[in-house]
Amino acid sequence: MTSNKLSIKDWDPSDRPREKFKQFGSAYLTNAELLALLIGNGTRELNAVQLMQYILKVNDNDLNKLQQQSLEQLIRFKGIGTVKAIKIKAAFELCKRIHYRGIKSKTVVKDSNSAFTLLAPDLQNLPHEEFWIVYLNQSSRLIEKYQLSRGGITQTAVDLRLAFKRAFEIGATALILAHNHPSGGLRPSESDSQLTQKFTSAAKQVDLTVLDHLIISEKGYFSFADQGLL
């Protein structure tokens, strides 16, 4: 980073993020300006907007990539301490919750594509593996999507008992399993296939139905149901 700092206070009032926000609304601000409002200030070398422009550039100007940054990764940027990193992560989490609440009450998961659309924001572009379950009622209407486990780069542990316990707690009758492949590949491994069969067999014993198991990556998804593997 080069030292090219001009304090935001020295900008023309019409260019300052807060003044622009008050006068024109949030839609008139760039991503960097909105993020700058969250962190408040920058470093000795860069003001808040310049700092966020730099961080966005490192993330290919992709908000989704920035969202996937962990607290530890954000803190590595000079000028982003723990408090600022938490503010950024909290803002992204609120966005996810607003989006999820808006779709929850009306979402019917009728096929693999609708399940992928529901889960992609949570599972695509992660640096580690996570296992999620979509819980549905008898009308295939969404009750909840639930992160069952989170693991390392190549695998995550899955506890069937916890998965079924949650289903009973919320009154679900059907499940869709999903996990991501950080490597980007979509071909199921032998352990993926074994886990799917284990889930399917166990669910039948407690009057639950496993409708599908999706493997998700930035390239798309693989559906066990679509391939006739359930």
β strands within 80-203, DSSP E = 130-136, 142-150, 174-180
Q: What single-letter DSSP state applies at residue 189?
A: P
- The list of the chain residues with pLDDT below 50 reads 1-2
pLDDT in tens, 148-174: 998 865 556 788 999 999 999 999 999
What pLDDT sits at residue 101? 62
The two structure tokens encoding residue 212: 């599908």
Distance CA 103, CA 118 (A): 9
How close are the terminal C-alpha atoms of the chain, in Å? 53
Residue owning tokens 């990193």: 85
Residue range 66-89, pLDDT digits in tens:
988 889 999 999 999 999 999 999
Please tell me whether the overall predicted TM-score, pTM, comes out greater than 0.85 for this model: no
**Cβ pair 154, 190 in contact under 8 A:** no
Provide, rounded to the nearest whole percent, the portion of the chain with pLDDT above 70: 90
DSSP structural state of residue 65: H
